[in-house]
Amino acid sequence: MARLFEYQGKELLKKAKVPIPEGGVATTPQEAGKMAEKVGKPVAIKSQIWAGGRGKAGGIQFAQNPEEAEKVAGKLLGSEIKSLTVEKVLVEEKLDIDREFYAGIIIDASREVRAPVVMFSTEGGVDIEEVPSEKIAQMNVDVLRGLRFYDALNLAITLKVPTQLLPAIAQAILGLYATFKGYNCRTAEINPLVLTKDGKIFAADCRMSIDDSSVFRHPELGIDVAREASTPPTELDNIAWQIEEGDLRGTCYIAQMIPEIKEPGVVGYHGIGGGGAILGVDALNRQGLKIADYADTSGNPTAAKVYRAVKVILSQAGIEGYMLGGFIVANQEQWHHAHGVVKALREDLMDKPGFPVVLLLCGNKEKESLEILREGTKDLPARVEIYGSDRVYETEFLAKRMKTLIEEYRKERGVKEG
């Protein structure tokens, strides 16, 4: 995943000479105890999860000695915080905080900028979006020129940072920028950048995400699924990613939206092409249906790739239907999609009488492709409806058809089960 955990980000910052608290990561209580012993001071034990507001949710705790550290880590490891399981904790020196600053870099895609923006604030420790703009100093970086030491000094000076702190703060900003550039980050933040009571500057927490398309340049980061998401990849995501990694012809993008389906009205979703895939989901949502996964096969994938994608989608327990949302008049020959879909449906739906299936496929070689779909599904016991380009933008109609088929399917099963 392109997002890094705090401990990973801190390791990168350390390389760029940004001071970080002494400590390290632990996956067992024993390791946490040993780490606390190595630090030799009271420690903070921080759950390594992708969520803001960890502290308030109980994900950050403190320990006075190694024994206590082991005990606290034992409680945190394996627990759920903000519905994420804690698999690692960062054990590090507890800082004696005097002030909290903020340093961050984002990419601004707006037409006036199209460049990285370095931000510094004297109001650290809170979400930067909540800080009033007069407390934030920022600079658009000309990447051909780079960020210079005096740029960083000037940012801090704008907010009246005391002179004696300027060099250390500027050094931290420069180190953050070096990391951002060196590791091709999409965002990088140190929040808070802490001033301790004994006058030292430390990166107390950090958040970084690596640009998906640059992950290949950094095998040392061990990122398995180079894809922006708010949660770590599920088992299904990892399986789906292997489809993509092993076959570069066309793209197959699958993200599981509901890892465990506990309610009715959830559909296995398969779009074709980014924009079209999204608008199909909008329509399903308006009909009160949810998608178990967001899948998109496009860029002229092979039938084999499409087949594997459909198999993954249909493997989700609890889905009440499958929708091929080809809301696109594609210039690729659509028979590859048709063959792939048919093979998977034939394998998986023979023993699912009445299972709702809505197929929309439009574009080049449409007539032939729809014929493949019709021929291939005509003896399936499932409820299959097939549509072409005269319905390409009729998202509401198709979502309603999906809903109706699901209602029929439920009624039928209800009758049988009763």
Partner 1 sequence: MAILLEKETKVLVQGITGREGSARAAFMKGYGTKVVAGVTPGRGGEEVAGTPVYNTVEEAVSAQGPIDASVTFVPGPALKGAVLEAMDSGIPFIVMPVERVPLYDILEMMAYAKLKGTRLLGPGAIGIISPGIAAAGWLGGTPEFAKRVFVPGPVGVISRSGGQSGTVPWTIKEAGMGVSTVVHIGTEPVVGQSMGDILPLFQEDKDTKAVAVFGEIGGPYEEEAASAVREKRFTKPLVVYVAGAWAPEGMRFSHASSIIERGRGSAKDKIRSLKEAGVHVVDRPDEIAPTIKRLIKA
- What is the binding site for partner 1 (CB under 8 A)? 106-107, 109-111, 114-116, 129, 142-144, 181, 184, 186-187, 211-214, 216-217, 227-230, 253, 255, 271-279, 281-283, 285, 294, 296, 298, 327-332, 362-364, 389, 392-396
d(CA 366, CA 361) in angstroms, rounded, equals 7
Q: How far is CA 103 from the centre of its chain?
A: 23
Q: How far is CA 71 from the centre of its chain?
A: 32
Q: Smaller CB distance to partner 1: residue 22 or 333? A: 333
Q: Smaller CB distance to partner 1: residue 253 or 355? A: 253
CB of 375 to partner 1, least distance (A): 24
Q: Smaller CB distance to partner 1: residue 39 or 324? A: 324
Packing angle, helices 395-417 and 274-286, rounded to 10: 50
CB of 70 to partner 1, least distance (A): 34
CB of 48 to partner 1, least distance (A): 18
Q: Smaller CB distance to partner 1: residue 92 or 296? A: 296
d(CA 261, CA 258) in angstroms, rounded, equals 6
Q: Smaller CB distance to partner 1: residue 50 or 101? A: 50
Q: Smaller CB distance to partner 1: residue 68 or 212? A: 212
Q: Smaller CB distance to partner 1: residue 282 or 368? A: 282
Task: Phi first, then psi: give them for residue 213, nearest 5 degrees.
Answer: -75, -5
What element of type H or E holds 253?
strand 251-256
d(CA 279, CA 360) in angstroms, rounded, equals 13
d(CA 181, CA 284) in angstroms, rounded, equals 41
Q: Smaller CB distance to partner 1: residue 23 or 273? A: 273
- Quote the tokens at residue 281: 């989901």
Q: Smaller CB distance to partner 1: residue 29 or 325? A: 325
CB of 369 to partner 1, least distance (A): 14
CB of 237 to partner 1, least distance (A): 11
CB of 282 to partner 1, least distance (A): 5
CB of 233 to partner 1, least distance (A): 12
Smallest Cα–Cα separation from 176: which of 151, 197, 144? 151
d(CA 226, CA 215) in angstroms, rounded, equals 6
Helix and strand element counts for the chain (H, E): 11, 22
Task: Phi first, then psi: give them for residue 383, nearest 5 degrees.
Answer: -85, 105
CB of 68 to partner 1, least distance (A): 35
Burial class (CB in 10 A: 0-12, 13-18, 19+), 133: exposed
Q: How far is CA 195 from CA 180, 203, 240, in A?
A: 22, 9, 45
Q: How far is CA 212 from CA 115, 235, 294, in A?
A: 17, 19, 18
CB of 173 to partner 1, least distance (A): 18
